[in-house]
Amino acid sequence: MKASTVRRVGSRLASLFASLLIALSLAFLLGRLSGDPTATILGPMAPPEQREALRHELGLDLPLVVQYLDYLRGILTGDLGQSLQFYQSNTSMIADRLPYTLQLVAAGMGLALLVGVPLGVLAATREGTWWDRAASTVALLGQSVPVFWFGMMLVVLFAVKLGWLPAGQSGTPKHLILPALTMSVYPMAHIARLTRASMSEALAEPYIDSARARGLGNRRVVWRHAFANAMMPILTIVVLQTGILLSGAVAVEYVYSWPGLGQLALQAIQFRDFPLVQAIVVFGALVFVLLNLVVDVLHSIVDPRVR
C-alpha cells in the first residue's frame, strides 16, 4: 500500500474518531444537564435519604470525571447501561426496536430513490422546459414542507377521510405505506435536485457530444455515459441521508406511533432516562461515523483519483 494512501486512511480515521468522541462527550454532558433523574423516578415527595440512596446506587454521587470514564469504559466493552424507566439493558432495548426503524428507513429511502433519481434525470435532460420547471418545483416543495405537518396531512386524507390506510401502529405492509411516504419526502427532493445538477454537468461534457456523434441512442448516452459519471455525488448523498433518516426518525415515528428507536428516544427524554438517551445517541453517532467511512470507501472504489 502506498504511503500516501496510508496517510490518507490514517488521517480520515483520526478525524472520524475525534468526531465520535465529541459526539459521545456531548451526549454525556447533556444527560447530566437534564436534571436529577431521581426526582422523576421517586417522585417530588420522596425523602432526601431515599433520593440520596438512589443517587449512590446509580453512581451519580461520584465525581463527574469518574462518571465520564466509566461511561467511556462501558461503551468500549459494549455495555450501554440500564434504563431507569424500563429496568432493562439499553443494548437489548435498542436491538429490539432497531428492526422497526431499519424497515422504515429502507422503505423511505427506496421510495426516495425510485422517485428522486428519475425526476432529476428528467429535469436535466429537458433543461429549460416545463418538465424541468415542474420537476424542480416538486423537489423544492419536498425540501420545504415540514415532515411532521406532511405526515399529519397524510393521516387526515388517507386514514380519516378516505379510510384506505391505517393511521398508525405496525404489523402489516399497509401500516408501512404512510410512514414510508412521509419519510421519503425530504431525501427524495434532495436526491432529485442533486441528480439534476450532476446530470446537467455531465451532459455538458465533451465525451457526451462524442458519444452522440458516434450515433449512440439518447437513452444509452443518458444512462450509460452521463448517469454513470454523475452517480458518485448521488451515491454519497444516499448513504449520508440514510444515516440522517436512521438517527432522525423521531417525528415520523411519533406521528404514526411506530415502535422504533425514535419513539423509544422520545419516551426516554420524557422520563429523563438519561442512560437510555445516551445509549441511543451513542448508537446514532456510531452509525453516522461508519456511514461516513462507507462513503470514503465508495469514493475510492468508484473514483480512482481519490486513492
The reported pLDDT for the residue numbered 112 is 92
The reported pLDDT for the residue numbered 204 is 86
Q: What does the pLDDT look like over 155-193, one tens digit per residue?
A: 899 888 888 888 877 778 888 899 999 999 989 999 999
The reported pLDDT for the residue numbered 307 is 56
How does 218-234 read in b/e, with b if 16+ C-beta sit within 10 Å?
Answer: eeebbeebbbebbbbeb
* Angle formed by the axes of helices 90-125 and 130-144, nearest 10°: 160
Domains along the chain? 100-302 (1.10.3720.10)
The segments of the chain whose pLDDT lies below 70 read 1-6, 8-9, 34, 247-248, 302-307
The reported pLDDT for the residue numbered 111 is 92
Q: What does the pLDDT look like over 230-248, one tens digit per residue?
A: 887 888 888 888 878 876 6
Percent pLDDT > 90 in the chain is: 9
CB neighbour list of residue 193: distance below 8 Å, 6 or more residues apart = 120, 136, 139, 140, 143
